[in-house]
Every structure is written in C-alpha cells, then in structure tokens.
Amino acid sequence: MAEFPFQYRSLKDCVMDYLKQEMESGNLKPGDRINEKEICQKLGVSRTPIREALIQLEREGFIEISPRKSIRVKKLTLKEIEDIYQVIGALESEAAEIACDRLTPEDIARMEKDYEEMVQALAQDDFKKYMDINLELHNVHLRLCGNEVLVNIVNQLKKRLYDFPRIMLNIPEWEEKCIEEHRQLIQFFKEKKAHQTF
C-alpha cells in the first residue's frame, strides 16, 4: 500500500489550531466569549467540527462551556497556575533523574548554549524568544527520559500555561528565579555525569 506524502488533518484539528493561535496572539483573551456562528463564517466550516474542537479545548482546560451554552476562554486562577507548575516540576524532576544516564556531553553543551541565549533574550526583553528557548532546553532531558506518557502530560500542561500571551515574564523576580533554576538544572546534570563510573 502506498503511503501518503502528507499528514491528514481533520477539520476539528484545524479549528483547534485556529482557536489556539487566536488565544496565543491575544486576539482571544481569557474571559472573551467565543461565537460559534462567527467561526463558521470565518473558516467556512459547519458547526460540527467547531463543536468537536470546543469540546476538546474544554477537556484541555482552554475554554469553559456554561450550562446556558455560553462559551468563553477560561481564565487561569493563581491557584491553578501554582498547581500546574507543581505537577510539571514533579514530573520533570523524574524525567531529569531518568535522563541523567543518557545525557551526552553534547546534550549538556546544548543546554548551556540554550541557557546563555535565554539570558540574552531576557536582556533584550524578547519574551517570546525566551519562552521558545526555555522549552527547547527542557525538551533535551524530556526527550531522553524515554517515558512518552510523562512527556505527553508535561507538554499538555505547558500548552495550557504558555498558549496565551506570555505577560507573566514582565515580573523581574520571576525572571531571576527562572534563570537561577535553569542554571541549577544544568549544574545538576554536570555533577551527576561527573560522578558516573564507566
């Protein structure tokens, strides 16, 4: 059987991508109402894939559908943000422990390069670049941990936090804490590798 040279994407997936892009760009902000009819007209699709996309986005925590059919972009509370970070931290710690044995000197060098680029991005107030490099740095040990279930959960939680405008980076204390935590993560890997016996 011949293989298709492209990946099939359902209308539901296309609608989800559109809505997430609208949220990330800030065109749809937390608390904003989502109008199904307007999306139908704009995208030229029926209500079925839009409803399917909205149900999936509600499951992922991006939107909330009220009993009266009001559909809004969900606002994250401070408690929800803290809870998500706590879960991500626990899972990434486990991934880091597993990945230690598999990290190469090249992997650690890549993380150090990413770290330096993150510092530069913050100095230039380029918060989008900072977050993109941040995710790349973490993906090194996540990729090497070999636990797809763990990686999928972490990535889903990160999407929930980061697929909105990234205004939280305007807090200097938060920025300094994040940079220090990344420095400590790389140092952890270097020390672990230094004590390994071959």
Domain ranges of the chain: 11-73, 78-194
Lowest mean pLDDT among 21-30, 155-164, 165-174: 165-174
Closest among 118, 119, 96 to 189, alpha carbons compared? 96
Output the CATH code of domain 78-194.
1.20.120
pLDDT in tens, 9-57: 788 999 998 998 888 788 888 889 999 999 999 999 999 999 999 999 9
CB 163 within 8 A of CB 20: yes
DSSP secondary structure string for all residues of 104-163 = -HHHHHHHHHHHHHHHHHHHTT-HHHHHHHHHHHHHHHHHHH--HHHHHHHHHHHHHHHS
pLDDT given at position 130: 86
Q: Which helix (H) or strand (E) holds 63?
A: strand 63-65
Output the pLDDT for position 163: 64
Q: What values do phi and psi take at 72, rounded to 5?
A: -135, 155
Phi-psi region of 66 (alpha: psi -120 to 50; beta: other; left: phi over 0): beta
**How many whole angstroms separate alpha carbon 76 and alpha carbon 168?**
12
pLDDT the model gives residue 125 = 83
Check: CATH 1.20.950.20 for 11-73? no
Find the range with the poorest average confidence among 3-7, 130-134, 138-142, 150-154.
3-7
Is the model's pLDDT at 196 over the cut of 70? Answer: no
pLDDT surpasses 60 at 189? yes
Predicted confidence at residue 128, as pLDDT, reads 80
Residue 1 has pLDDT above 70, yes or no: no
pLDDT at 197: 47
pLDDT bin (cut points 50, 70, 90) of residue 131 is: confident
pLDDT attached to residue 8: 64
Q: What pLDDT does 137 receive? A: 93
Considering the chain, what percentage of its residues have pLDDT values greater than 90? Answer: 47
63-65 and 71-73 strand pairing: antiparallel
The answer to whether residue 193 scores a pLDDT higher than 50 is: yes
Question: Model's pTM, two decimal places?
Answer: 0.73
Confidence of residue 170 (pLDDT cuts 50, 70, 90): low
